[in-house]
Amino acid sequence: MTFILWLGVHPPGDHPFVTQTSVILALVVVTALAFDFTNGFHDTANAMATTIATRALSPKTAVALSGLLNLVGAFLSVQVALTVTNAVVKIQNSDGTPKEPLTTHGGEALLMIVLAGLVGGIIWNLATWLLGLPSSSSHALFGGLIGATVAGLGWAGVNWNGDGSKLDGVVGKVLLPAVMSPVIAGLVAAAGTWIIFRMTAGIALRYAERGFKWGQIGSASLVSLAHGTNDAQKTMGVITLALIASGHWTDTGSIPFWVKVACALAIALGTYLGGWRIIRTLGKGLVDIAPAQGMAAQSASAAVILASSHLGFALSTTHVATGSVLGSGVGRPAAEVRWRVAGRMVLAWLITLPAAGVVGALMWWIGDLVGGLAGALTVVALLIAAATGMWLRSRRIRVDHSNVNDDWGAVVPPVAGAPGRLPATAAAS
């Protein structure tokens, strides 16, 4: 495909419509949609892992419901914040327009930073999916952008600490919430689970099972809807930023309708595809989830996500969902929590930002070294190669809707000759 694009491009000025930057812009848009897609399938687990593990919904129904609600949620984002990157890097002014030095030559400098950052985010999202680790997609995106910005503009281009007037910067928007969110969600879920288990002791099972089934579906739906509204907005913001930088859009108060449609479809489709490896780790790997526990965990997630975004202290959905599942395991009498799996997860969280950053920086350097359109094409080609490689690797030991609920540790016999032990977490029971 890249070859065809290459043939179709004329040197700047030669053709009035297809210029070098408009092709780079197209690459940025497609890559942003690809990121949105990985964002969707990486985060299906946050809403649906417990619902699937307790069999409140069949795996297929759960991902379809979550995908649909993500779609609805994305369309609810009528007012999109264009300033999404401002939390961590300084490539935009406070009104959302790109910084002037980056907009010369059709915004090529800004486009390259955004492209490299997106590629960093996608590659890290795919790597953690391959390992079955729930890690934050926002951290991956921010990490990629930070890395690409450091490579392109130097360390001064990063907004580390904000200006002290509000919660801002890498520390305030990423690091502190990351540490605090699992703890908060864990406490809420543990408290809820502990009390609910005491209250349900001795009541007829048929009432409890049916009631908790609906409780779980309701709370999981809320999480899906909130996810669609929040996460699709980020990609919409990034694409619109690229359009403004290259002079294809000027209004900072709204976004093009096609951007909204494309982002909504990408995240919904990703969610529907379902990151089964991650669903398995979250639903079966950490603790064995009983229906009451599933409801407590999912309600804790929904309440903490909505309350935090209401109070302007936005937390990562992934960290909240994981904290809730862990908390529900701690709160349930005599439940076994697999702390080794949890530890592996925390390790993934710690390295998400720097790892995506390194990939983002690397991509920017490669793109810059090759230069111009060829550089952008090289970066996209590298992304396609990495994604294909990881997808092929994932097929050696498949996790899908048919085996997502199998007992932890008892499944997926390693393929003879396969050196790895994927999904890595499955071996660590």
**Euclidean distance between CA atoms 89 and 107, whole angstroms:** 17
Structure tokens at 158: 């990063």
Give me the least distance between CB of 245 and other proteins, in Å please.
23
3-state secondary structure of 31: helix
Q: Does 322 bind other proteins (CB under 8 A)?
A: no
> What would the DSSP string read from start to end of 384-410?
HHHHHHHHHHHTTS---TTTTTSPTTT
Residues 6+ apart with CB under 8 A from 362: 120, 147, 151
Q: Does 196 bind other proteins (CB under 8 A)?
A: yes
Of 34-42, 107-115, 202-210, 373-381: span binding other proteins (CB under 8 A): 202-210
Give me the least distance between CB of 220 and other proteins, in Å please.
12
Q: Does 311 bind other proteins (CB under 8 A)?
A: yes
Cβ(82)–Cβ(237) under 8 Å? yes
- The alpha carbon torsion through 145, 148, 154, 157 (nearest 10 deg) reads -20
Give me the least distance between CB of 162 and other proteins, in Å please.
6
223 or 348, CB closer to other proteins? Answer: 223
Give me the least distance between CB of 81 and other proteins, in Å please.
9
User: Which residue from 195, 374, 381, 427 is in contact with other proteins, where contact means CB under 8 A?
Assistant: 195
**Euclidean distance between CA atoms 45 and 405, whole angstroms:** 13
Give me the least distance between CB of 46 and other proteins, in Å please.
15
- The conformation of residue 252, written as its DSSP 8-state character, comes to S
Of 156-164, 234-242, 333-341, 356-364: span binding other proteins (CB under 8 A): 156-164
Q: Does 88 bind other proteins (CB under 8 A)?
A: no
Of 279-287, 297-305, 332-340, 372-380: span binding other proteins (CB under 8 A): 297-305
Treating both helix axes as pointing N-terminal to C-terminal, what angle do 205-245 and 291-310 enclose, rounded to 10 degrees?
A: 30
Proportion of the chain in helix, strand, coil states, percent, rounded to 5:
70, 0, 25
Contacts with other proteins by CB under 8 A: the residue count is 60
Give me the least distance between CB of 199 and other proteins, in Å please.
5
Residues 6+ apart with CB under 8 A from 223: 46, 47, 298, 301, 302, 305, 317, 321
> Phi/psi class of residue 79: alpha, beta or left (left: φ > 0; alpha: ψ in -120 to 50)?
beta
Of 127-135, 291-299, 362-370, 390-398: span binding other proteins (CB under 8 A): 291-299
3-state secondary structure of 119: helix
171 or 411, CB closer to other proteins? Answer: 171
**Type of residue found at 91:** I
User: Which residue from 18, 180, 351, 424 is in contact with other proteins, where contact means CB under 8 A?
Assistant: 180
Residue 319, CB half-sphere, CA atoms under 13 Å: how many? 26
Cβ(23)–Cβ(5) under 8 Å? yes
79 or 250, CB closer to other proteins? Answer: 79
Q: Does 94 bind other proteins (CB under 8 A)?
A: no
User: Which residue from 59, 67, 73, 98 is in contact with other proteins, where contact means CB under 8 A?
Assistant: 73
User: Which residue from 136, 138, 229, 271 is in contact with other proteins, where contact means CB under 8 A?
Assistant: 229
User: Which residue from 136, 235, 299, 352 is in contact with other proteins, where contact means CB under 8 A?
Assistant: 299
User: Which residue from 10, 166, 340, 421 is in contact with other proteins, where contact means CB under 8 A?
Assistant: 166
**Type of residue found at 393:** R
**Euclidean distance between CA atoms 406 and 427, whole angstroms:** 13
333 or 419, CB closer to other proteins? Answer: 333
Rule CB under 8 A: which residues touch other proteins? 73, 76-79, 161-162, 164-169, 171-172, 176-177, 180, 184-185, 187-189, 191-192, 195-196, 199-200, 203-204, 207-208, 211-212, 215, 218-219, 222, 225-226, 229, 292, 295-296, 299-304, 306-313, 315
